[in-house]
Structure 1
Amino acid sequence: MSRGKRWLFVYIPGFLILLCLFLYEENNHIGITTYTVSSSELPQGLDGYRIVHLSDLQSKMYPNDQYPVVSKVKRLKPDIIVMTGDMVDAGHYDEEATMVLMRGVTEIAPVYFAAGNHEYASRTFPELEKKLTGLGIHVLRNERVRIKAGDGNISLIGVDDPIFNRQEDGDVDKMTAHLREAIGGEVTEDYSILLSHRPELFHVYSDHSIDLSFAGHAHGGQFRLPLIGGVYSPGQGMWPELSEGLHERDGSTLVINRGLGNSVFPQRLFNRPEIVLVELASPAF
């Protein structure tokens, strides 16, 4: 076989096959990221408390009825599962993909859910909320619940995405209104955990003395470049500062999930789908 034919029939097809396999893996191989968050504010007896964080499924259906997601979550043995919105996608809405995942994870641990911008944009959230609640999922709409944990309680707060708020001006004002509604006038000494879709509003969460916040929305920057990070995230634009990982500000911690699915752009690069596990711990003295 001549050199030209080898390129035409062997090298180029081989390269294209490998490229397709690589891109498929980038979109579908789910990674697990584990963080340990320590705080002196935690109740006694809470060391090792495990929180699994899911976000931004975007109506994606993984093989065998979401088995790759459900099986990985089950192996992590969480005490609770938290979700930070966009589990449906307004552009390619598939409620069944979301419900299959929800039915699977509710058999593992209690599930707490806060809504994102796609829940709002789909215009079907009131019906979806009823179905989620019917499965036993705690849908937190600008409200707080207290969870017995260790020898005390955790205050778990869930807020709607700012797009739900048509009364205030600007996302900061909208989120501030949501947090004030959720927290109310009650003051507790509980360790506080917030579920909110938007990572770029971290300064609002820390200004409200939230101990630990979970967010999604940024999709890890969609493409990630070595030594640089995410390329683009909604709400932050190019080269976003808050696209994934763990961040600290004035004693407050933010964990950002890269998400399980895609929305407007169908491909990830060096940014595989993610399940996050946070283990709580008292600081070592």
Structure 2
Amino acid sequence: MKRFRTVHYTIHSEKIKDARGVRFAVIADLHGMEFGPDNQRLLETINKYRPDGILIAGDMIVRNDSESMKKAESLLKRFSAQYPVYYALGNHEYKLYRSNPEENEFAGEYQEYENELREAGVEILHNDFSKLKVGKTGITVYGLEIPLIYYKKPFSPRLHTEEVRELIGEPSEDSLNILLAHSPKYGDTYFDWGADLILSGHYHGGIVRLNRHKGLLSPQLQPFPAFCCGDFHRGSQHMLVSAGAGEHTIPVRIHNPREVLIVDLKPYLR
């Protein structure tokens, strides 16, 4: 039986205005995985935590697998019936999103996948943002899509802060800014851009997880990549990198369980 764990983080910010705070469930790299029939165990686990919203940090599907789209679509529709859902693409979705249906047999299916999710109320953030309010706290969720060259194996170019600004603009000045950025490779750039909270995945915990923050290998075949898994901090800014809820191609996890994140945003204690 496939298993996953929940990893709980508490982040404090002066931008959180209510004592109850805000809670999000974060899912990355499901890759069409199922936990129980129709992902019932995953849904029940999320419901137990009663989040204020669901944040998707990319790669819910496998780009050449129609069945993975059906499984992800079913789960996300069930989530959106109960919670606000904000979805940023990973490299698997982005490749299909940018493909011509006449050239890629899966691109048309992916268009239908997005259409179905939008009709169900899922907010898909194509280098876009969405504002929400929980109690007195204003939050802006950004979905960053970087071109596929930044996922190139074994080497990819440096991503500059100016390029992020060109894609999604400046962070909001009057809210807590959450950046959904699938690849954690460019964590320093995301911090420099000004996100309060960065949520990433992509590395699958480094395949072999060595400790809380270190893994063996990135999907770009980079050994011991920075920002591999776990939590990273710069002053009042925070980055959380999920080891992912699924895997593909290399179905190996050593000391590296699948995971879903529960993130509580709390005010500083006075």
Report the TM range for the smaller structure's normalisation.
Answer: 0.7 to 0.9
Amino acid at match of 1:101: L
Residue 159 (structure 2) pairs with residue 172 (structure 1):
yes
Residue in 2 aligned with 1:257?
Answer: 242
Q: Who is 2:73 aligned against?
A: 99
Q: 1:98 to 1:171 in 2, by over 3 A?
A: farther
Match of 1:13 in 2: none
Q: Distance in 1 between matches of 2:18 and 2:70?
A: 39
Offset at residue 108 of structure 1 (A): 2.8
CA distance in 2, matches of 1:68, 1:55: 16
Seen in structure 2, the aligned counterparts of structure 1 residues 209 and 271 have a Cα distance that, compared at 3 Å, is same
TM-score, structure 1 length as denominator? 0.81
Counterpart of 2:104 in structure 1 is none
Let me know the Cα RMSD of the aligned residues: 2.3
Match of 2:219 in 1: 234
Alignment partners' CA distance in 1, 2:162 and 2:218: 22
CA shift at 1:107, angstroms?
2.5
**Are the structure 2 counterparts of residues 179 and 59 from structure 1 closer, same or farther at C-alpha, using a change threshold of 3 Å?**
farther
**Secondary structure in 2 aligned to 1:229?**
coil
Q: Which runs of 5+ in 1 are unaligned?
A: 1-23
Richer in helix (by share)? 1
Contact 1:160 1:178 in 2 (8 A): no
Q: Which residue of 2 aligns with 1:67?
A: 40
- Are 2:24 and 2:263, in contact at CA under 8 Å, matched by a contact in 1? yes
Is 1:117 the counterpart of 2:91 in the alignment? yes
Identify the residue that residue 78 of structure 1 maps to in structure 2.
Answer: 51
Q: Check the 8 A contact 1:203/1:249 in 2, yes or no.
A: no
Which runs of structure 2 are paired with 1:25-44 in the superposition (5 Å)? Answer: 28-42=2-16, 44=17
1:141 counterpart (80, 105, 126): 126
Per-residue displacement from partner, 1:74-105 (whole Å, max 9, x unpaired)? 11100010001111112444211111211222
3-state SS of the aligned residue for 2:159? Answer: helix
C-alpha distance in structure 2 between counterparts of 1:45 and 1:189, whole Å: 16
TM superposition shift of 1:176? 4.4
Given that residues 73 and 105 in structure 1 are in contact (C-alpha distance below 8 angstroms), is that contact kept between their aligned partners in structure 2? Answer: no
Instruction: Give 2:20's aligned amino acid.
Output: D
Distance 1:196 1:183 in 2: 14
Moved over 6 A (4+): none
Identity %: 26
Decide whether the 8 Å contact of 1:200 with 1:236 is kept in 2.
no
Q: How many residues align?
A: 253
CA distance in 1, matches of 2:186, 2:55: 18
1:196-207 maps to which residues of 2 (within 5 A)?
196-207=181-192
Alignment of 1:35-54 (within 5 A): 35-42=9-16, 44-45=17-18, 47-54=20-27
The aligned amino acid for 1:78 is P
Q: Give the distance between the partners of 1:201 and 1:152, measured in 2 at CA.
A: 28
Q: Identify the residue that residue 222 of structure 1 maps to in structure 2.
A: 207
Contact 1:30 1:274 in 2 (8 A): yes
Confirm whether residue 183 of structure 1 aligns to residue 169 of structure 2.
Answer: yes
Deviation of 1:234 (Å): 2.1
- On the 8 A contact 1:199/1:256 being kept in 2, the answer is yes
**Cα gap change, 1:79/1:187 in structure 2, threshold over 3 Å: closer, same or farther?**
closer
Whole-angstrom distance in 2 between the partners of 1:45 and 1:89 = 39
